[in-house]
Amino acid sequence: MTILVIAEHDNVHLKGATLNTVAAAAGIQKYVGGDVHVLVAGGNAKAVADAAAQIAGVAKVLLADAPQLADGLAENLQAQVLAIASSYSHILFPATASGKNVAPRVAAKLDVAQISDIIAVESADTFVRPIYAGNAIATVQSGDAVKVITVRTTGFDAVAATGGSAALEALAAVADSGLSSFVGREVAKSDRPELAGAKIVVSGGRGMGSAENFKILEPLADKLGAAMGASRAAVDAGYAPNDWQVGQTGKIVAPQLYVAVGISGAIQHLAGMKDSKVIVAINKDPEAPIFGVADYGLVGDLFQVVPELAGAL
Amino acid sequence: MKVLVPVKRVVDYNVKVRVKSDQTGVDIANVKMSMNPFDEIAVEEATRLREAGKATEVVAVSCGVAQAQETLRTALAIGADRGILVQTDVELQPLAVAKLLKALADKEQPQLIILGKQAIDDDANQTGQMLAALLGWPQATFASRVELGEGTATVTREVDGGLETIKIKLPAIVTTDLRLNEPRYVTLPNIMKAKKKPLETVAPADLGVDPAPRLKTLKVTDPPARKAGIKVADVAALVDKLKNEAKVV
């Protein structure tokens, strides 16, 4: 039994989510044996494949390199994965925007169920996944021949990025489907770490009051070297961009430290951050549900507390 | 151009679900049910396309128990023209729903199918993509903006770290993200009108689909509880705790 992991990358850098996904693959390998392979499908992505070959525990890296694979178009990636799918018992994608985009297409073409967002491996065919925004945890068993899985990265500690020496094999790239084309990308430029993988996250909620007021979080985030996040309420109100959204419908994070500022703690938000190691809540309402999950709560006016905290660190 | 909009009946957004003591699932008896919020955005988008003269008919579809009729009536009240219920008591998983929708799409021949990106009960985020694959159509998932052209759609998508725009050939699948639109409030006159709109019921067997689940749920449990911590008096006390107790700064 061989396990395939689909690498997350931007054609230049291998993304950290790949390492968590390899960790999940290693968890499955304990039950089924065999090797772990990594597929890098991209354009001019040799550097990514070289990086993937260094990942601890990976036996082989497959590189499909062609312009039609450069922009993550789901139709082409689906075909590329299907071209090699028959060699694998488990096919794992990180549960990122791109993994979620492609994995179900692969599962449907293989006529198998997909197991989404797993947080633990119980055996070769049994996995644990949150449902209802993490308010319940389901253990599910797949009877299908091939397991197509997306991996919630916060559920698995990343394997070492170096120490491995996988063989590198070039694959023939599939043809362009002609069904879709890439137009452009607006990547939010930031010197801050990426939200999904950050060690510290500073998030603001509706209590921030305006997009302008959100800026008072910046010195604190800078001081902590933190990524910035937001509750859905703050995103809905237009105070923060959607890719900052932490919660059931946004990103799931589990940093070492999560600082929730002016966030009441709606179920949907808690679902996205309650696995953080240490949670700090700053809110003027002492009854706010966020205090029910916070390790350290500070009741007070955020407009006073946040600058003071930034100054004191 | 015909637009198909699948909608799912789920436990209402504001309900905190309880896990059953026998660990077989969550208790949904006597719980408020509503349309999946992402699907509401899908119905709104389709309705706006028809109102703008770009779509000619909006067909809402729901797969599930008889009560999913209520969800379809909500879709009709927002603006869908007619509804189709694929009625079954079988537990439906995304692959089965995608197969049912494919059979309906083969029959109805829509140019565009708009779905919610995920349902807030099973949080699978699969059905739209699976349907696209089964139909052999392109997809634009997690859409925050959809512009229809001549036989194409240009869609802006919410991806990690920003936005991405792709162009897809019609017929195609679009799945909605939160910022695509803000669904309208359903008015009483429209609810009354919706009651008179046609709603057809079919069975999975009529569509030639076996909807049996592929994944077996072995158990459903409560998530590990997080204990509430302490309240600190001021910033100095907070900094002290973070430095000396939690050691995270």
pLDDT, tens digit, for every residue of B190-216? Answer: 999 999 999 999 999 999 999 999 999
Angle between helices B37-51 and B68-78 (to 10 degrees): 40
Cα separation, A118 vs A140, whole angstroms: 10
Answer yes or no: is pLDDT of A101 > 90: yes
Least confident segment among A81-90, A240-249, A284-293: A240-249
pLDDT value for B235: 95
Using a pLDDT cut of 90, give the percent of chain A over it. Answer: 87
What's the average model confidence in pLDDT over A27-43? 97
Question: B138 vs A293, B25, B155, CA distance in Å?
Answer: 42, 35, 12
The CA distance from B192 to the nearest CA of chain A, in Å, is 30
- Per DSSP, B16 falls in state -
Q: Locate the chain A residue with the closest alpha carbon to B175.
A: A101
pLDDT value for B152: 98
What's the average model confidence in pLDDT over B154-177? 94
Answer yes or no: is pLDDT of A20 > 90: yes
pLDDT value for B88: 98
- Per residue in B140-157, pLDDT (tens digit) is 999 999 999 999 999 999
DSSP string, chain A: --EEEEPPB-SSSB-THHHHHHHHHHHHHHHH-S-EEEEEEESS-HHHHHHHHTSTT--EEEEEE-GGGTT--HHHHHHHHHHHGGG-SEEEEESSHHHHHHHHHHHHHTT--EEEEE-EE-SSSEEEEEEGGGTEEEEEEE-SSSEEEEE-GGGSPPPPSSS---EEEEEPPPPP-SSEEEEEEEEPP-SSPPGGG-SEEEEE-GGG-SHHHHTTHHHHHHHHT-EEEE-HHHHHTTSS-GGGBBSTTSB----SEEEEES----HHHHHHHTT-SEEEEEES-TT-GGGGT-SEEEES-HHHHHHHHHHH-
The CA distance from A7 to the nearest CA of chain B, in Å, is 15
Selected residues 130-159 of chain A with any CB under 8 Å from a CB in chain B: 130-144
Q: Flag whether residue A248 sits within 8 Å of chain B, measured between CB atoms.
A: yes
Categorize the per-residue pLDDT at A23 as very low, low, confident or very high, splitting at 50, 70 and 90.
very high
Tell me whether residues A137 and B223 touch, CB distance under 8 A. Answer: yes
Tell me whether residues A296 and B139 touch, CB distance under 8 A. Answer: no
Name which of B139, B229, B246 is nearest A297 (Cβ-Cβ): B229
3-class DSSP state for residue B13? coil
- Per DSSP, B233 falls in state S
Partners of residue A9 in chain B, C-beta under 8 Å:
none
What's the average model confidence in pLDDT over B172-198? 95
Cα separation, A230 vs A124, whole angstroms: 37
Least confident segment among A31-40, A107-116, A234-243, B58-67: A234-243
pLDDT value for A193: 87
Cβ-proximal residues to A223 (8 Å cutoff; 6+ apart), any chain:
A310, A313
Answer yes or no: is pLDDT of A190 > 80: no
Answer yes or no: is pLDDT of B122 > 90: yes
Cα separation, B63 vs A235, whole angstroms: 31
Tell me whether residues B121 and A257 touch, CB distance under 8 A. Answer: no
Question: B52 vs B45, B48, B98, B123, CA distance in Å?
Answer: 11, 6, 28, 32
Q: Flag whether residue A13 sits within 8 Å of chain B, measured between CB atoms.
A: no
Categorize the per-residue pLDDT at A251 as very low, low, confident or very high, splitting at 50, 70 and 90.
confident
Q: Locate the chain B residue with the closest alpha carbon to A232.
A: B178
pLDDT value for B68: 98
Tell me whether residues B163 and A181 touch, CB distance under 8 A. Answer: no
Answer yes or no: is pLDDT of A153 > 80: yes
Phi, psi (degrees; rounded to nearest 5) at A75: -65, -45
In this structure, the dihedral spanned by the alpha carbons of residues A46, A52, A53 and A57, taken in order and rounded to 10 degrees, is: -170
- Per residue in B71-95, pLDDT (tens digit) is 999 999 999 999 999 999 999 999 9
Name which of A96, A113, A251 is nearest B215 (Cβ-Cβ): A113
B196: amino acid identity, one letter: K
Answer yes or no: is pLDDT of A249 > 80: no
B168 in Cβ contact with A183 (< 8 Å): no
Tell me whether residues B230 and A297 touch, CB distance under 8 A. Answer: yes
What's the average model confidence in pLDDT over B177-192? 93
pLDDT value for B249: 86
How many CB pairs (< 8 A) connect A and B? 251
What's the average model confidence in pLDDT over A93-122? 97
Average pLDDT along chain B: 96
Phi, psi (degrees; rounded to nearest 5) at A149: -135, 140
Pick A253 or A138 by higher pLDDT. A138
- Per residue in A254-290, pLDDT (tens digit) is 899 999 999 999 988 998 898 899 999 999 999 999 9
The residue ranges of DSSP E strands in B130-204, in sequence order, are: 139-148, 152-159, 162-169, 172-176, 199-202
Cβ-proximal residues to A241 (8 Å cutoff; 6+ apart), any chain:
A188, A230, A235
The CA distance from A167 to the nearest CA of chain B, in Å, is 30
Partners of residue A109 in chain B, C-beta under 8 Å:
133-134
Categorize the per-residue pLDDT at B161 as very low, low, confident or very high, splitting at 50, 70 and 90.
confident
Name which of A135, A200, A224 is nearest B17 (Cβ-Cβ): A135
Tell me whether residues B95 and A299 touch, CB distance under 8 A. Answer: no
Answer yes or no: is pLDDT of A49 > 80: yes
B36 in Cβ contact with B183 (< 8 Å): no
A213: amino acid identity, one letter: N
Answer yes or no: is pLDDT of A175 > 80: yes
Residue B75 sits at the vertex; the CA angle it makes with B72 and B77, to the nearest 5 degrees, is 110
The CA distance from B154 to the nearest CA of chain A, in Å, is 8
A220 in Cβ contact with B209 (< 8 Å): no
Answer yes or no: is pLDDT of B116 > 90: yes
Question: How far is C-alpha B160 from the chain's CA centre?
Answer: 20
Q: Locate the chain A residue with the closest alpha carbon to B24.
A: A138
Average pLDDT along chain A: 95
Using a pLDDT cut of 70, give the percent of chain A over it. Answer: 100
Answer yes or no: is pLDDT of A188 > 80: no
Tell me whether residues A248 and B123 touch, CB distance under 8 A. Answer: yes
Answer yes or no: is pLDDT of A248 > 80: no
